[in-house]
Amino acid sequence: MLRLILVSSLILLPLIARSNVPDKFTQKNINYRTYFGECPSKSSGMLTLILMKEFEKAQSLRDVKEKILNEKLDEKYFLSDYRISYNPVIRTLRINFECPEPLAKVQVYKPNGEEHYSAILGDNARMYEPQYENLMKAEKRLNHHLPLLAISMNQLEGSAPTDLANFIKKMEVDMRKQISEIIISKNNDLTIIFALGGKATSVFMGADLWEEKLTKLAKIVGYVGKNKRYPSSINLVNSKKVVVKFSDKI
């Protein structure tokens, strides 16, 4: 619900600290209008305060946008897009933020196999700091676990992040929730580890035609879930010959 609130700089800070930033407010004779979309209100509120202070120095949009670019504030505060505009006639500054949907927890490895760093893969194929997941969960904007994605540094420099983001986005959320791990090899071979019925199921997707194979995979996962008989592996490397194996143990 939109709220019209008159605030001063002295009371805005505690509002932001409580992640309760108003959609409309006036400060120093400037009207502010904010929209955070699906962004965490805590981080977006902090960024709003930074941009307000910069704008109030000289009422320059150019200064604000240069600050964002020079300090990489869009990355630091988990933005996928932003729009900032000022109408001098009605003295109104509009700040609109958009944030990505988190798709996976990423572990990036060096060529020798050592872990290099961790990140969160967004639906825009960009990497964000791990705390993004915590912020989203704290504000109940993310209500399920994220699968672990293991990828090499070399893979990050190619099309792999975009290909993986597009692939994961095409999955139904209920199917994503059953994934525990995603692994992409240096040869671009994709392996998905599902937790089906409390058991691990390895799915081998091969190096291409992932989206085409996803349709078949979704049908198999739905079928085995309905019948409560879960395979140990599903091989989709050859899209024309799907091999489903079950463990001898019941």
The pLDDT tens digits of the residues spanning 11-50 come to 344 444 444 566 878 888 899 999 999 999 999 999 999 9
Give the three-state DSSP class for 175: helix
What is the distance between the alpha carbons of residues 108 and 105, in angstroms, rounded to a whole number? 10
Task: Write down all domains in the chain, each with its CATH number in brackets.
Answer: 4-98 (no CATH), 102-245 (3.40.50)
The arrangement of strands across the sheet holding 190-196 comes to: 127-128, 115-122, 102-109, 148-152, 179-184, 190-196, 199-206, 233-235, 243-245
pLDDT of 21: 60
* Per-residue pLDDT tens over the stretch 54-87: 999 999 999 999 999 999 999 999 999 999 999 9
Task: Average the pLDDT over 143-150 and give the result.
Answer: 94
Written as one letter, the residue type at 193 is I
C-beta atoms surrounding 149 within 10 Å: 23
Closest to 37 in 3D by CA, of 112, 116, 136: 136
Question: Average model confidence (pLDDT) for the chain?
Answer: 88
What is the distance between the alpha carbons of residues 147 and 194, in angstroms, rounded to a whole number? 9
* Per-residue pLDDT tens over the stretch 187-243: 899 999 999 988 899 999 999 999 999 999 999 999 998 888 899 999 999 988 999
